[in-house]
Amino acid sequence: MKNDKLENLDKLYYTIGEVADMFDVNVSLIRYWENQFSILKPKKNKKGNRLFTPKDIDNLHLIYHLVKERKLTLEGAKLKLKENKEDTVQNFEVVKRLKHIKSMLIEIRDSI
């Protein structure tokens, strides 16, 4: 996943292609996850193109973390989000911060 693209979300809406690029996945996977997870509700323009908000991208990041990084099944990820979303989000935020700290430390080490 391309973390640098996920940290600087400055637009109101992102196309599905941009979102797929952020996570380094196929557009079809984003569409599939949209059908599988009720927390994903991108807006659609008159042509039917999906437009993702930064909140949608945060939810996708959480799903990506559960499915791709923690290796949960889709059912396991759905259950985690349904039963204990608040704790799941808090744990995810901690992991995200730790990864950021790790990348900063690596940068410092490499500059020495």
DSSP type of residue 49: -
DSSP type of residue 38: T
Kindly list the domain boundaries of the chain, sorted by start residue.
3-111
pLDDT tens digits, residue range 3-13?
555 666 778 99
What is the rounded CA–CA span in Å between residue 72 and residue 105? 29
pLDDT tens digits, residue range 30-52?
999 999 999 999 999 999 999 99
The model's pTM: 0.73
Annotation: CATH topology of 3-111: Multidrug-efflux Transporter Regulator; Chain: A; Domain 2 (1.10.1660)
What is the rounded CA–CA span in Å between residue 89 and residue 62? 7
CB contact burial 74-105 (16+ within 10 A = b; e otherwise): eeebbebbeeeeeebeebbeeebeeeeeeeee
DSSP 3-state percent helix, strand, coil across the chain (nearest 5):
70, 5, 25
pLDDT tens digits, residue range 53-90?
999 999 999 999 999 999 999 999 999 888 877 777 78
